[in-house]
Structure 1
């Protein structure tokens, strides 16, 4: 694997809430004793990537539902940079009063094994709130690329090693791309971006031959014919893209990887607030407009609450430690 720069290549208040039958409106019950203080001010969902990517799209749809469930303003803030670490640090150091939450990808845990000196620890410095969604990733290509499928890409990469770039926007997506090159037995150039939207822009413009994206970010552009989907990373096809083969089907046996979105908060967040936010998320995801939007762009809406999420994140930490030992993720210099 080679890694270069883009410039170089390119010259509850929701716990008591309920849906009213038939119209998707939310009825808010009185909070339990001792919980009445939350939320009393704007709730901020910080996304550590550029606007327009899958994490941003998901967070904004969720925020719209949470506004209805919580009866309070919920805003999304983007703070991209350093593979998500800049925004994550801001939340780790933030006030643990239930006004600030981080919405991140699997890179939240993986960065421990990618970044040389993180100013926080993913398992120690954040309170788990909710696993929001799991989703397949996509290997996508520019419509201008001279290959139309995975076999064509592999043949082109073997004919001219390290001549074809692939865009990545976080550690999890970097892993997806490097796992592909490893299993396919090819050499490509990894090009890091600050978010999924810039990758998609360069794919559409023909400046970038291939990129890795979430279904959430890529689907509108696929439907518009602006980019191509070469394969999905999971072992089953995406319901939203049934015509797109899995990478295993397309010629890379053994390929299997799924991304996920998570919500965490500063470590000292009271457990009661974490539980109420998880309940509010579950209510928000039942709202027809929110649910239809997210399902329509490929998101799986099965959630986990704070306790099972803690176990999930620990298991992910063990997974990435093993992947780092095996050389599937590379520590940044």
Structure 2
């Protein structure tokens, strides 16, 4: 039999592990802050706030969504990279997060090593949106007009992801666009509606409220298949440009060093959040696929994305941001 002293020593050695497990099991015990490093009203913001609604219902704690805009998403993401890795400071980002180091001269963090992957939340198509007064009504007319008027078609982008979408389209179509950078999908769409911008690439969530607006033409979706949100809108190959396929994604990250059990608990909470009936129906209405990946699989996905953008940058398909 073990002596009393031996039992006490083993118990003492086990206390830190028990404390860690108790801490993980207690998450969350206070307000959770989720940073969206992009503008209010954009696709990532819409997605994060709807997810937050589901999380508030399932975790029983307050959850605050904070927009921290600037630097193509870098400022808000940097804030999270420097936070305590305790599960109370999180970020919802888009694929721009992994593209920035190839589109910017300097990024003050490593998009993979300085974060803990929690959930790949959803993929989504981009849309090609045009002003109603633009001199083209569909993709074929856009390509024809751009070829007849080289360099005279401007397109708007809001970050590296939408910039790549427009520039890859131009490469495949053999045309030249002038790119205009915006500080978010919402101001980009506002200028298209106002007729100040003829063309833009943005997420389908940013464009969702304009799908039935007669001042906007949605020329195509960029995904391989049509979106359930707007099944009448053709894909880019269907509309006239073969070989073009591109989708974005939303993901949740925490600071590096987060305990694996905490990351898994947050992912489990995300899975529960999208089962809340009123939340799930709105996600479906927005065309989100909701095929989530957990921390380990999301980490592998981020590494795959990094290799993809490294190759794209070498090929000159990612334009440096000013």
Same-fold status (TM-score > 0.5): yes
Tell me the CA shift for residue 34 of structure 1.
4.2
CA distance in 2, matches of 1:59, 1:235: 24
After superposition, residues 177-256 of structure 1 pair within 5 angstroms as 177-256=166-245
Whether 1:134 and 2:134 are equivalent positions in the alignment is no
Judge conservation of contact 1:50–1:78 (CA < 8 Å) in 2: yes
| Structure 2: gaps (5+ residues) | 1-20
1:63 aligns with 2:63: no
Q: Deviations over 1:217-270 (max 9, x none)?
A: 212211233411101111211122222111112121100111100100100222
Contact kept in structure 2, 1:44 and 1:74, CA below 8 Å: yes
Task: Extract unaligned runs of 5+ from structure 1.
Answer: 1-31
Q: Secondary structure at the match of 2:124?
A: strand
What is the deviation of 1:327?
0.8
Q: For the residues of structure 2 that align with 1:195 and 1:301, how far apart are their CA atoms?
A: 23
From 132, 138, 153, the counterpart of 2:142: 153
For residues 269-316 of structure 1, the C-alpha deviation after alignment (integer angstroms, 9 at most, x for no partner) is: 221111111000000001111111111011111100000000000011
Shift of 1:115: 1.2
Number of aligned positions between the proteins: 302
What's the counterpart of residue 11 of structure 2?
Answer: none
Partner of 1:35: 24
Normalised to the residue count of structure 1, the TM-score between the two structures is 0.88
Distance in 1 between residues matched to 2:114 and 2:274, nearest whole Å: 27
- 2:296 pairs, out of 290, 304, 307, with 307
**1:86-143 superposed Cα distances (whole Å, 9 cap, x missing partner):** 1111111112121111101101111111111110001110000000000111001112
Q: Which of 272, 277, 282 is the matching residue for 1:288?
A: 277
What is the alpha-carbon distance in structure 1 between the residues aligned to residue 215 and residue 290 of structure 2? 27
The answer as to whether partners of 2:155 and 2:201 remain within 8 angstroms in 1 is yes
For residue 57 of structure 1, report the CA deviation from its aligned partner.
0.2
- Stretch deviating more after TM superposition (268-277 or 59-68): 268-277
CA distance in 1, matches of 2:41, 2:133: 22
**Larger helix fraction of residues:** 2
Q: Distance in 1 between matches of 2:23 and 2:81?
A: 25
Alignment match, 2:75: 86
Cα distance, 1:33–1:93 mapped onto 2, change above 3 Å: closer
Preserved contact between residue 178 and residue 328 of structure 1 (Cα < 8 Å): yes
Greater Rg by CA: 2
What is the distance in 1 between the residues matched to 2:215 and 2:55? 32
Aligned pair 1:259/2:248, yes or no? yes
Partner of residue 28, structure 1 = none
Does the 8 Å contact 2:163/2:319 carry over to 1? Answer: no
Return the TM-score normalized by structure 2. 0.91
* 2:18 matched residue in structure 1: none
